[in-house]
Amino acid sequence: MLNALKGTNPTTPITHVGLFTAGAAITSVTGAEATDKLTKASHGLSNGDLVVLRSLTGGTGLVTEYPYYVVGVNGDDFQLAQISGGTAVDFTTDITSVSVVKLTEVSGGSPAYARVAIAFAAAAGGALDDSTNGAELDVPASGVVDYVGFFSASTAGELLAVDDVTQETFGAQGKYTVTDAKLNLNG
């Protein structure tokens, strides 16, 4: 199963790694299981925004720190999908409170930020370990890294996973190194 993420099934394997900055948390968001809509006055989100959830109370069927895309924005209401422009996720209990955090891919700098290629060795013991070890990404001055993203292409492509990392802020142009990446079924 894990080997599929580096092979041809699915047809969009992980091939590149990139970086994200987390925005300020939108707190005290609520959600209605009957409509699968989340509600927060003046949330500021738009269709297509990438978000993660934190401090989730209720909302069975949703997962914290999992990448979701905003869909169905209508005033103070919005929904979440697992793929960009996809069908809204059906959560099976009301959400009494959740924080929603928008992720934005790092950009800019000289040399300019760009995703870098990553490769994985064959899965063993329930884990898929990258064989790239030491992938370096350029980060612009004042850049902030909060998440590493795993993509199916160097540009556009599909975001297949994110991992929260210890926040790193760059005072000047610099390099962020992904020293080791693992996909693990063992928890």
pLDDT number for residue 186: 62
Has residue 35 got a pLDDT over 90?
yes
Residue 8: which pLDDT band, with cuts at 50, 70 and 90? very low
Mean pLDDT along residues 130-142? 93
Query: By 3-state DSSP, what share of the chain in percent is helix, strand and coil, each rounded to 5?
Result: 5, 50, 50
β-bridge mates for residue 145, sequence order: 168
User: Which stretch of 4-13, 56-65, 134-143 has the lowest confidence by average pLDDT?
Assistant: 4-13
| Residue 114 CA: distances (Å) to CA of 14, 111, 134, 155, 169 | 16, 9, 15, 8, 17
Q: How confident is the model at residue 9 (pLDDT cuts 50, 70, 90)?
A: very low
Domains belonging to the chain, first-starting first, are 2-21+106-184 (no CATH), 22-104 (2.40.30.180)
pLDDT digits (tens, 9 = 90+) for 86-118: 999 999 999 999 999 999 999 999 999 999 999
Q: How far is CA 119 from CA 1, 5, 7, 92, 169, in A?
A: 16, 10, 10, 37, 26
